[in-house]
Amino acid sequence: METERAPLISLRNVNLWYGTVQALRDVSVDFYQGELVGLVGDNGAGKTSLVNIISGIVAPTSGEVYLDGQRITSFHPKLAIDLGVETTQQSVGLCDNLSIARNYFLGREPVRRIAGIPFIDLGKMRKEGRKAITAFGLRESVDVDGEVALLSGGERQAFKIARAVYFRSRILIMDEPTNNLSVRERERVNDLAVQLKDQSLLVIYITHDIFQIHRIADRFIILENGAKVADVPRNLMSAEDLERIIREGVGNDAGSPRSG
């Protein structure tokens, strides 16, 4: 890891409260361009909360967030998208009622002016959508004008990744992208994640499948009860160790004995 490089995203002493629940505790972490980071931890550990800050869905209660060394002061999904942050979650990201072409460009619809009136450029949306379908290995029979509700889980993820690539995102956040996917589709999504990293994107990958992430990630960040408990490169920790730490915890080692 070349630590001299300036981080792409940097969180400093970030705390996040949802009412009386503290989802993040004093988290400081750096992410670099061109790396695939596995973000792991138990249910409710704060993984989604952490990436929600990066993708502008929530603002931290306290602490600082830097992107390219610039302090981020206002948090909104639109701003994050404009800054090149894309998020793919299993359940979020596609509107079932809209066509594939429309989903592809949702929020960033291309516009064609006819007599000065801005119409969305459906032709372009269709064309690019169709390109994505072939380039990212969706079924040939998938219709760009069909509702996305017709896509399989893996196709949905692939499609969202295609979209991130198309819009030249610099950061791709994948929050449990392989839930409910077949082995084969999971493979394809993981391959895509690695490909994007190779194209020097920052990929933040959240999953509960430790062995799977251990194969592809460069580095792991482990969260526990909202706090960062480990930040290790892959070569310094085996998948088994990683799993053990998540299962048994770090902070609880001495105090409360947890017998599994």
Partner 1 sequence: MRAPAVGIQHVTRPLTRFRKRPDAAIVLGTILVFLVFGAVDPESWFQFFTMINITRYAAILGLLAIGQTIVILSREIDLSVGSVYGIVAIAFIASEPTLGVPLSLLAALMLAAAIGLLNALLVLRGGISSMIATLGALFFYRGIIYVTTGGTVMRFSQGARAHWLTQAFGGQWLRLDNAFLWFMLIAVLASLVLYHSRFGNHLLAVGGDETTALARGVTVVRTKTIAFVACSLLAGLSGIVTIAQNPQTHVTLGMQLELESIAAAVIGGTQLGGGRGTVLGSVLGTFFLTAVRSEMITLGAPPSWYTAFVGIALLLGATINTVMARRSGA
Ligand X SMILES: Nc1ncnc2c1ncn2[C@@H]1O[C@H](COP(=O)(O)OP(=O)(O)OP(=O)(O)O)[C@@H](O)[C@H]1O
Structure tokens belonging to residue 207: 């999953």
DSSP 8-state secondary structure symbol assigned to residue 231: E
Residues 6+ apart with CB under 8 A from 71: 64, 65
Q: Which does 18 bind (CB under 5 to 8 A by kind): Mg ion, partner 1, ligand X, none?
A: ligand X
Contact 248, 258 (CB under 8 A): yes
Please report, for residues 31, 59, 98, the alpha-carbon distance to residue 156 in angstroms, rounded to integers and kept in the order given.
Answer: 26, 28, 13
Q: Which of 45, 189, 203, 210 binds ligand X (CB under 6 A)?
A: 45
236 is a contact residue toward partner 1 (CB under 8 A): no
Q: Which of 8, 11, 37, 48 binds ligand X (CB under 6 A)?
A: 48
Q: Strand 202-206 vs strand 171-175: parallel, antiparallel, or unpaired?
A: parallel
Q: Which of residues 90-149 bind partner 1 (CB under 8 A)?
A: 91-98, 102, 105-109, 111, 118-120, 122, 139-141, 145, 147, 149
23 is a contact residue toward ligand X (CB under 6 A): yes
Q: Which does 170 bind (CB under 5 to 8 A by kind): Mg ion, ligand X, partner 1, none?
A: none
Residue count, binding to partner 1 (CB under 8 A): 36
Q: Which of residues 17-56 bind partner 1 (CB under 8 A)?
A: 55
d(CA 157, CA 88): 7
235 is a contact residue toward ligand X (CB under 6 A): no
* Helical segments of the chain, H only: 47-54, 77-82, 100-104, 122-135, 153-166, 183-198, 210-216, 239-248
d(CA 158, CA 136): 6
Residue count, binding to ligand X (CB under 6 A): 11
Q: Whole-number minimum distance, CB 16 to ligand X, in Å?
A: 8
The span of 24-32, 43-51, 63-71, 93-101 binding Mg ion (CB under 5 A) equals 43-51
Applying CB under 5 A, which residues contact Mg ion? 48
Applying CB under 6 A, which residues contact ligand X? 18, 21, 23, 41, 43-49
